[in-house]
Amino acid sequence: MATLHWFRNDLRLDDNPALQEALQGGELALAYVIDPAFWQEDRWGHRKTGPFRTRFLWESVADLQRAIEDVGGCLHILEGAPHDVLPTLMSDLGCQVLTAQAEHTPEELDAELAVDRAVASLGGHCRWVEGLTLYHLEDIPMSLDALPDIFTQFRKKVEKGSEVRMPHPAPESMTCLEADDLGELPDLASFLKRHGMALPVDDARAVLPFRGGASEARARLKHYFWDTEKLAVYKKTRNGLVGADYSSKFSPWLANGCISPRRIASEVARFEDTVEANDSTYWLVFELIWRDYFRFVAMKYGAKIFHKKALKPDSPNRGTQRHAFEAWKEGRTKDSFVNANMRELARTGFMSNRGRQNVASYLVHDLGIDWRLGASWFEHLLLDHDPASNTGNWIYVAGVGNDPRPNRKFNTRRQAEMYDGDGKYQTLWSGDALELDVR
């Protein structure tokens, strides 16, 4: 029986459960779909996938294609709605089964349902395989209905009652079915121009010259864990603002599935066995558990987390003051620390975790603006955007999510004194007026 594996946010061969399932069958075909839905404008007027994210994605797909070819396979690159192009390829190649990584947020679930129906109409079937999280959904010691609404309660239960599954190695060889036309990645500049955007320009002030792909993810892990052993001081430095190594910076590769959380956790364990085990090594895994939690919250509550008042229907109403919002986006507020962070985001597609908490708090609690506008802007720009984590963090800071505190308002001036006492970060990102294309 022939199987088509559809790569989604799992752009790797290493530790890819859905691909592993596809490899268990008979003949195999591989595909990636450029879905135009990801470049549409959202309700706030932002292109959902901006230039930084698009470039990182293009690099990740190209890296995946090279890796597949290196082990003897080939990757079909399709452009169109998945429910149109995937069944057509299955018919052309004689595939009866489609495997893909399961997603758990509304737009992705709608895409799965449409693909399911289209494949079923041809007499085939789909297998949606869990692969996004550190802890497998079946291994957490609770049902989704019983998922605690406080992270600490969840963390303690999984740390006590669950084991992280061992990662699977990448296949050493594969033989793939091949259509007459494999397709190819469109030229990046032309693709962006088609969607009203320009090629992103690298900024020398960026914390890292982020490049997409599983090989880049492995190189970053090697650098941070083994070449520099910065993992050993992660907890002490993770709130930094300037430079490549104050934190792991794994999140863009995790968001695109260039590396799995299980692979990172297994390397942490190896580091603890061979170098040092301390609060910092624990804390990196702690952050991966946070990432899991936001995904399980998305599974439990579905579309509710994307609503204005999310999990707290009694929360205050906030507005959509566009003038103030545009000033926030462009780093033109009255707060120099917020401005510096927003300029870094606009110029590089990245912002530190400390910065994200502060700018989100400022937008919601100081400017009184609906958190969904901020989340939309982050989705457009952030290299590491994924819907569960982006939304989970925004509703947490906005006070409408999984936060036991009623008002998590950050004192941004105090935060600047604590984390940028010498003003180095604010000076680095001061003064450049931004002209932003937000289409």
Structure tokens belonging to residue 239: 């709130």
Q: Which domains does the chain have, with CATH numbers?
A: 1-131 (3.40.50.620), 133-166+213-306 (1.25.40.80), 322-428 (1.10.579.10)
pLDDT attached to residue 436? 47
Collect all residues with Cβ–Cβ distance below 8 Å to 314 and sequence separation of at least 6.
none
pLDDT attached to residue 437? 45
Yes or no: say if 10 and 18 are a contact pair by the CB < 8 Å rule: yes
Q: What share of the chain is helix, strand, coil (3-state, %, to 5)?
A: 50, 5, 45
User: What single DSSP character describes residue 41?
Assistant: B
Collapse the DSSP code of 75 into the 3-class scheme (helix H, G, I; strand E, B; otherwise coil) and give the result. coil
Structure tokens belonging to residue 304: 């509710």
Question: Which residue stretches of the chain have pLDDT < 50?
Answer: 433-439
**Dist. CA 341–CA 330, nearest whole Å:** 10
**Dist. CA 272–CA 231, nearest whole Å:** 10
Match 């606009």 to its residue by tokens: 346
Sheet harboring 97-101: ordered strands across? 76-79, 28-34, 3-7, 97-101, 125-129
**Dist. CA 410–CA 361, nearest whole Å:** 6
pLDDT attached to residue 377? 98
Strand-pairing partners, residue 34, are 79
**Dist. CA 6–CA 88, nearest whole Å:** 13
Match 């395989």 to its residue by tokens: 129
Collect all residues with Cβ–Cβ distance below 8 Å to 269 and sequence separation of at least 6.
none
